Amino acid sequence: MSLRDQVDQLLPSWRQWYPSLFDAAADLGLIRARVCPPGSLLLRTRHADIQRAAEEAHREKWGGGPPEDPPDRSRDRV
């Protein structure tokens, strides 16, 4: 269900009181801002944190661990 559908379901006449969908959704508790330190606003840091969170969520839902390095086969050669 989209954010607009959720807001419309909870407050059908939201347009009368709110200038934007996001203001209505925030007041209804459907979305929340995350407070973060200024250093985390750097894109490379933010993207790394988002990637890490996505990988962790995937592992929690589907199991498994971080990808392992393939075994070193150079010692198997004679």
| 37 confidence band (pLDDT: 50, 70, 90) | confident
**pLDDT tens digits for range 11-35:** 999 999 999 999 999 999 999 887 8
The string of pLDDT tens digits covering residues 39-69 is 767 777 778 888 899 999 999 888 876 666 6
How many CB atoms neighbour CB 27 within 10 A? 14
CB contact at 8 A, 36 and 30: no
- The Cα–Cα gap between 5 and 12 comes to 9
Per-domain boundaries in the chain: 1-32, 37-63
How far is CA 37 from each of CA 23, 32, 34, 40, rounded to the nearest angstrom?
23, 16, 10, 6
Backbone φ and ψ of 64, nearest 5°: 90, 170
AA letter at 3: L
